[in-house]
Amino acid sequence: MVQKAERVVSPGTRGGTGGSTRSGRPVGNVTRGTTNPNRMRRVDRWLTGPQAWRLRGAKDPLVVDLGYGASPATAVELFERLSAIRADVRVVGIEIEPERVRQARALERPGLSFQLGGFELPVPGRPVLVRAFNVLRQYEEADVPAIWRLVQDRLAPGGLLIDGTCDEIGRRVTWVALDDVRPLSLGLSMRFGGFELPSDIAERLPKALIHRNVPGEKIHSYLQALDKAWLEAAPLASFGNRQRWTAMCRALRDGGWPVQDGPARWRLGELTVDWEAVAPDGLQQAGHQGP
């Protein structure tokens, strides 16, 4: 049963060791848990591509799949994909619902385990990657900074939190990437042929942005710029959507948008921009100590 979302507050401290909360309960709420095999392939492709250096260089190759849902399939897939980057990776799937953990443990193997818990990340050590997909959607937007801060405080140096959202079969995907200090970027990835306009991704924006797609907000301007560049690249459609998408990305970059990566990623239907270009007005991180 899905719980009514409770408020999540930041403890306001850095450097915690994880474990249970003062009440002994995991931090968070039970989600619907819906998932499908291969649903996370697009974000995993980004983690094993431009972000692979984080895992390769980690002193402790600990990774957390936070809130993997009713089926552990995507946690198993994450382990298998990351094992190709670093053979000694350790992936821990964390779920707040005990029965989901009990069932998942039948799939444990060396390097892959499952643990009861929530945003406090009750694992020994500091993870270099934390993937939290379709988890924060049930929370209030006002709670997002505190949740981010709680997880960020548990990251290893050079670690990354991925707060993302996708559709049921992973054809439309967005994610915010954060290090232990601040949000870094917004990424999106879409299946060619699965949309009319790039702004169709709006319904799958992360919680921090989904209610901000209105005139006057940066994310609205960004999506409008995507649509404009996509439409202007229409003459390239005869060469395929990949060429059209690449032209759109190049036009955005040339127009001054802080686009990351390059054509090798664009050809995958992927696009990443600096967080500052889309950050909501007034969204501040609780306990933020960075510049």
**Contact (Cβ atoms closer than 8 angstroms) between residue 274 and residue 261:** no
Mean pLDDT of the chain: 90
Instruction: Check residue 209 and give its pLDDT.
Output: 97
What is the per-residue pLDDT across 191-213, written as a single tens digit (0 to 9) for each? 999 999 999 999 999 999 999 99
What is the per-residue pLDDT across 115-136, written as a single tens digit (0 to 9) for each? 999 999 999 999 999 999 999 9
Q: Which of 25-29, 147-151, 268-272, 278-282 has the lowest mean pLDDT?
A: 25-29
| Nearest-angstrom CA–CA distance, 13 and 138 | 25
| Nearest-angstrom CA–CA distance, 144 and 140 | 7
Exposed/middle/buried for residue 184 (C-beta within 10 Å: 0-12, 13-18, 19+): middle
Model confidence pTM above 0.85: yes
Identity of the residue numbered 263: P
**Contact (Cβ atoms closer than 8 angstroms) between residue 55 and residue 21:** no
Regarding the domain delimited by 41-277, which CATH topology (the fold level of the hierarchy) does it fall under? Rossmann fold (3.40.50)
**Contact (Cβ atoms closer than 8 angstroms) between residue 191 and residue 269:** yes
Domain spans of the chain, in order of start: 41-277
Q: pLDDT at residue 9 above 90? A: no
Q: Which residue has the tokens 């601040």?
A: 182
What is the per-residue pLDDT across 166-192, written as a single tens digit (0 to 9) for each? 999 999 999 999 999 999 999 999 999
